[in-house]
């Protein structure tokens, strides 16, 4: 099965034509190399310009800055196909769905002209550094500081669990430019920090339980001098910018989770059809059929909801609590599908040589990153 066999309402014929291009790239360039990259703990930077040449990176960037000026539906196509066919955490979605929006929405003209063409082409890999060793979902509690010294900020602090941390050429660093102001969120700013700046260093490429190929890293900033002109937007507005962009980030996570769950389901149907026990295929047992029927129903509902959320977002109507709900629901569904599908694989499901085992490990983080699902419930609950 493939994703274009699922009836969809969010996409046009142009979106679906783009899907075929993305799928071929993933099948030719990404999927065959996944095991090697997982062993290496990193996706080589040489892959990024290849994706950029096909328009797979940051397709929403306006044409005047080297982009295609397309809608988020094209991002979602890349996310879906990457989760279904590539099944390798390349880091593309972080750049396309999250980082680039900050530059487009809040960057100065000079910042846009300097960086956006390079993000689109894949010449530059980016990261966004929010999480700190003692601060996860509580962004107001961050301790990384940037103090003014003439026409520079002096940046000090550390970040952890940073996606693209080893590969990144440019890091959007969330920090406190005012540590005294109350409430604390009014002191948060975002600085553009080039990886070549003195005092910046990369820590460990962290050892995770899943998504082994993703370079998730510690980053350290020791008296890093950053020009005042590298502040993104207005000083002290960083927290507002972060809150404004989170609905798209959470929708992106929901898209990938749904497609990942669909692939696990499809693989499990094929496995149970071939695998025999007590003289007949596992699929012929009522428990197997009932389990898969229940998952198929929930996946069907999931695609309908995802198209609703995508349509809302394309009309710029998706609210923060709707984005949170999408992330919550689709990642919870993903985990249910992964766990039940692994169970239907029996002992094989516990072996890393089977795709379901790697998918199960990789899925565990989706209820944590982008804001934990407990925080999603809190955000939704506040609007009741």
The two beta strands, 188-194 and 280-281, are unpaired
Active site residue 374: no
Tokens of 180: 């005294």
- Which residue intervals of 275-285 are DSSP H helices? none
How far apart (Å, rounded) are the C-alpha atoms in residues 195 and 168? Answer: 7
Catalytic residue among 249, 332, 336, 353: 249
For the chain, the first-to-last Cα distance in angstroms comes to 40
CB 299 within 8 A of CB 261: yes
How far apart (Å, rounded) are the C-alpha atoms in residues 47 and 167? Answer: 12
Task: Give the long-range contacts of residues 370-373, CB within 8 A, separation 24 or more.
Answer: 370/246, 370/249, 370/250, 370/253, 370/327, 371/137, 371/246, 371/250, 371/324, 371/327, 372/136, 372/137, 373/327, 373/328, 373/331, 373/332
Q: Nearest CA to 160 among 189, 115, 118, 202? A: 202
| CB-side neighbour CA atoms (13 Å) of 9 | 11
| CB-side neighbour CA atoms (13 Å) of 160 | 12
How far apart (Å, rounded) are the C-alpha atoms in residues 177 and 186? Answer: 9
> Strand, helix or coil at 31?
helix
List the catalytic residues: 249
């Amino acid at each position: 099965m493939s994703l274009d066999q699922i009836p969809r309402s969010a996409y046009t014929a142009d979106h679906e034509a783009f899907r075929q291009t993305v799928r071929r790239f993933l099948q030719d360039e990404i999927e065959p190399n996944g095991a090697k990259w997982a062993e290496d703990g990193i996706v080589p930077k040489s892959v990024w310009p290849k994706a950029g040449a096909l328009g797979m990176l940051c397709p929403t960037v306006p044409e005047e800055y080297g982009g295609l000026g397309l809608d988020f539906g094209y991002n979602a196509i890349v996310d879906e196909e990457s989760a279904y066919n590539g099944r390798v955490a390349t880091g593309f979605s972080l750049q396309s769905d999250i980082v680039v929006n900050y530059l487009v929405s809040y960057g100065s003209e000079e910042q846009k002209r300097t960086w956006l063409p390079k993000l689109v082409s894949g010449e530059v890999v980016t990261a966004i550094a929010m999480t700190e060793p003692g601060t996860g979902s509580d962004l107001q509690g961050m301790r990384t500081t940037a103090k003014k010294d003439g026409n520079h900020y002096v940046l000090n602090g550390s970040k952890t669990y940073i996606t693209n941390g080893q590969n990144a050429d440019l890091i959007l660093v969330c920090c406190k430019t005012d540590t005294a102001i109350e409430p604390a969120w009014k002191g948060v700013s975002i600085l553009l920090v080039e990886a070549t700046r003195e005092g910046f260093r990369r820590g460990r490429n962290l050892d995770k339980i899943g998504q082994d190929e993703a370079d998730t890293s510690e980053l350290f900033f020791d008296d890093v001098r950053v020009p005042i002109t590298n502040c993104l937007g207005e000083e002290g507005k960083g927290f507002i910018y972060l809150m404004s962009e989170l609905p798209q980030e959470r929708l992106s996570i929901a898209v990938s989770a749904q497609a990942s769950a669909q692939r696990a389901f499809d693989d499990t149907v094929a496995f149970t059809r071939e695998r025999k026990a007590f003289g007949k295929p596992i699929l012929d047992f009522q428990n197997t059929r009932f389990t898969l029927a229940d998952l198929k129903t929930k996946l069907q509902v999931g695609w309908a909801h995802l198209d609703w959320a995508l349509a809302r977002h394309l009309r710029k109507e998706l609210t923060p609590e709707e984005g949170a709900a999408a992330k919550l629901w689709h990642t919870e569904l993903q985990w249910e599908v992964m766990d039940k599908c692994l169970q239907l694989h029996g002992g094989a499901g516990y072996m890393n040589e089977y795709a379901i085992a790697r998918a199960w490990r990789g899925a565990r983080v989706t209820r944590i990153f982008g804001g934990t699902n407990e925080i999603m419930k809190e955000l939704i609950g506040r609007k009741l």
